[in-house]
């Protein structure tokens, strides 16, 4: 619910014009008044008000900070370089990741946009339980792989993955230090959401923050796939069968340094 301090309001109409659901109106007193009928709490009115007259009763308003050009503006060249230089890290130091850093990564996810401002992405941080989760993923991949190898209807293109998973499982069983699922990283953050795009966008910002904090990460698609196909992973995480793990970011301090960017295919673009 939105509240506008009438004594502060200068009647500039910026909030009424920027409200995406036209839920603020100007009245005869030339002040803005919230209707609170269709508001989905996006906070645009709070962010745009030149005199900070607007608050939401649903949020912690002490988290709102004023714009400062120095601190809030990204240089496009640096941003592009950061995007190009970002790599999936699969070689980690054994050092744990500080809780404050994990919290900052989640903060980057929390502030990411969501459809209709639903903010329906939740997070699971796995550190202490990582070994248990890892075993569950290896078991799942082995079950999935073995099933696919024995199924004559398996798509030949997928068969190579089936063999890879069984091989990964056997190598890990032989030597538990051989870990081609989490690569012996000390932490993972999972996003859980019914909305795949919301969680994916959040994850992308989280990855950028991970790198900015001097950490490395990669997205474990094997882990999320295994969580869709076998129940054991959600059981380990205390999730319901219907919960949807969208991404699994494996995180730790990189034990390697990249010297340059990696090449990419040209973009396929249609300009109309």
Ligand X SMILES: Cc1cc2nc3c(=O)[nH]c(=O)nc-3n(C[C@H](O)[C@H](O)[C@H](O)COP(=O)(O)O)c2cc1C
Q: Residues 91 to 130: which contact ligand X by CB under 6 A?
A: none
Which of 256, 225, 213, 33 lies closest to 107, judged by CA? 213
CA distance 181 to 184: 8
Both structure tokens of 56: 């939401």
Q: Residues 18, 47, 64, 87: which binds ligand X (CB under 6 A)? A: 87
Give CA–CA dist 226/223, Å, rounded. 5
Cα four-point dihedral sign 231, 235, 241, 246: negative
Closer CB to ligand X, 56 or 247, in the complex:
247
Nearer to ligand X, 169 or 222 (CB): 222
Is residue 222 a contact residue for ligand X (CB under 6 A)? yes
Nearby residues of 159 by Cβ (< 8 Å), 6 or more positions away = 148, 149
Taking CB under 6 A as the criterion, the residue among 6, 22, 81, 88 binding ligand X is 88
H helix runs in 122-155, sequence order:
130-150
Give CA 7 to chain center in angstroms: 40
Task: Count residues binding ligand X (CB under 6 A).
Answer: 9
Judged by CB under 6 A, the residue of 90, 101, 172, 234 near ligand X is 90
Minimum CB distance to ligand X, residue 112 (Å): 16
Q: Which of 96, 176, 221, 231 binds ligand X (CB under 6 A)?
A: 221
Please choose, out of 71-79, 145-153, 188-196, 215-223, the segment that lies near ligand X by the rule CB under 6 A: 215-223
The least distance separating ligand X from the CB of residue 60, rounded to whole angstroms, comes to 33
Comparison of 138 and 222: residue with beta carbon closer to ligand X? 222
Angle between helix 99-110 and helix 196-212 axes, rounded to 10 deg:
140
Residue ranges that bind ligand X, judged by CB under 6 A: 87-88, 90, 218-222, 262
């Amino acid at each position: 619910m939105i509240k506008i301090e009438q004594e502060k309001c200068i009647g500039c109409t910026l909030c009424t014009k920027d409200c995406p659901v036209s839920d603020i109106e100007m009245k005869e007193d030339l002040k803005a008044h919230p209707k609170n009928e269709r508001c989905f709490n996006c906070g645009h009115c709070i962010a745009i008000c030149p005199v900070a007259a607007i608050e939401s009763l649903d949020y912690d308003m002490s988290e709102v900070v004023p714009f400062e050009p120095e601190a809030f503006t990204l240089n496009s060249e640096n941003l592009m370089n950061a995007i190009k230089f970002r790599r999936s890290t699969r070689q980690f130091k054994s050092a744990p990741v500080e809780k404050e850093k994990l919290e900052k990564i989640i903060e980057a996810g929390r502030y990411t946009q969501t459809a209709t401002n639903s903010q329906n992405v939740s997070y699971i941080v796995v550190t202490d339980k990582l070994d248990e989760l890892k075993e569950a993923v290896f078991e799942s991949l082995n079950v999935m792989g073995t099933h696919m190898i024995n199924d004559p209807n398996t798509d030949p293109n997928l068969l190579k993955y089936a063999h890879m998973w069984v091989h990964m499982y056997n190598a890990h069983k032989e030597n538990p230090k051989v870990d081609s699922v989490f690569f012996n990283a000390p932490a993972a953050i999972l996003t859980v959401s019914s909305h795949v795009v919301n969680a994916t966008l959040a994850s992308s910002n989280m990855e950028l923050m991970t790198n900015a904090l001097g950490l490395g990460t990669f997205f474990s698609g094997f882990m999320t796939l295994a969580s869709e196909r076998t129940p054991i992973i959600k059981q380990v995480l205390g999730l319901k069968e219907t919960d949807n793990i969208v991404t699994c970011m494996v995180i730790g301090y990189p034990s390697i340094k990249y010297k340059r960017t990696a090449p990419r295919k040209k973009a396929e673009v249609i300009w109309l």
